[in-house]
A = this chain, B = another copy of it.
């Protein structure tokens, strides 16, 4: 066993954490969390203590905090689960010595005492800043690559429509689509995001779904004169309803998120899709990135190549301090973020 070396951090000497107090109904509100000071941790046996440089704020967290069944749940009393990037400051794990930088399940806290299995992969902060390792090289980038490239198998010239085009995943999907020779159409909330989707995120066209209102269905049809071959859906709900009539025969629908529907117990009503699925021979797939870890290296290599070629850029907004954490998920669902949201704890 490696000797536990003393922490190199001299201030704060105290840890700070965001803990979960109760189940959230719909979008988690600040009262779901408490911010607490706690003692500096020691590394668990075989694990490490990491100084968290950046911690993620993700739409998926709503599901983790819900009483509804989900692929992942953060129980009451636990530190809020989150991906993060950080630097090892104390180690009982030869694979992750002091000074190593990594992406992993670090949580919303200043110092994370974690098992080696929560340290997902090494990062190199000389290649890109910490927040970029959470966004384009993190779960956002992997999710975008998996949904678009690995599952939808796009062909050059195909038309792709993406909901929340300017979001953390959508922003990478648009840039990947441009690199693959696809026509990418983005739905985004507000003029500023719409323009950013076109100017910075690889989208050929974009639609402000808020301004479109009831006309969204015809606006989508106009923006996709050849129909839609791939629908990368991050929202579900009314936005998806406006897209389905424009799907082509053989279209692939990739369900990456359901951000537009706040409560799923019971599921809200919507137009039945069975006839579209049959007549248009659709293929509709849901996925969770961690089901596909075997192809992460392929995805990461491609994402780094595109970044090196200048074809993939990071678009991040970093909140300063854990006090901003309890309202951060709300901020995301209100669409107030500009780029991929993370916290500097």
User: Taking A278-B258, A283-B285 as contacts, is the C-beta distance between A236 and B71 under 8 angstroms?
Assistant: no
Mark interface residues in A266-293 (1 if CB within 8 Å of B CB, else 0). Answer: 1111111111111111111111100100
List A172-230 residues whose CB lies under 8 Å from chain B.
Answer: none
Q: Is the CB of B291 within 8 A of A275?
A: no
Most buried by B among A261, A269, A277, A278: A278
A288 touches B284 (CB 8 A): no
A264 at the interface (CB under 8 A from B): yes
In the complex, the answer to whether B258 meets A274 with C-beta atoms within 8 Å is yes
A sample of 18 more A-B contacts (CB under 8 A), given A255-B277, A269-B271, A281-B287, is A69-B279, A70-B279, A71-B279, A255-B278, A256-B278, A257-B278, A266-B271, A267-B273, A267-B275, A270-B272, A273-B273, A278-B286, A278-B288, A279-B286, A281-B291, A282-B286, A283-B285, A284-B285
Beta-carbon contact of B261 and A272 below 8 Å = yes
Residue of B whose beta carbon sits closest to that of A233: B274
Q: What's the minimum C-beta distance from A214 to chain B, rounded to whole angstroms? A: 15
* Closest CB in chain B relative to A58 CB, distance in Å: 14
Tell me which residues across on chain B come within 8 A of A236, comparing CB atoms. 272, 274-275
Task: Give which listed residue, B258, B275, B277, B282, contacts A275 with CB less than 8 A.
Answer: B258
Chain B proximity of A252: nearest CB distance (Å): 10
Residues of B near A326 (CB, < 8 A) are none
A267 touches B272 (CB 8 A): yes
Q: Is A28 an interface residue (CB 8 A)?
A: no
Q: Taking beta carbons and an 8 Å cutoff, which residues of A are in contact with B?
A: 63, 69-71, 233, 236-237, 240, 249, 255-258, 261, 264, 266-288, 291
Residue in chain B with minimal CB distance to A69: B279
A337 to chain B, nearest CB (A): 21
Q: Are A272 and B275 in contact (CB under 8 A)?
A: no
**A262 vs chain B, min Cβ distance (A):** 11
In the complex, are the beta carbons of B283 and A288 less than 8 A apart? Answer: no
Task: Give, as a whole number of angstroms, the nearest-CB distance from A149 to chain B.
Answer: 17
- Find the B residue at minimum CB distance from A279: B71
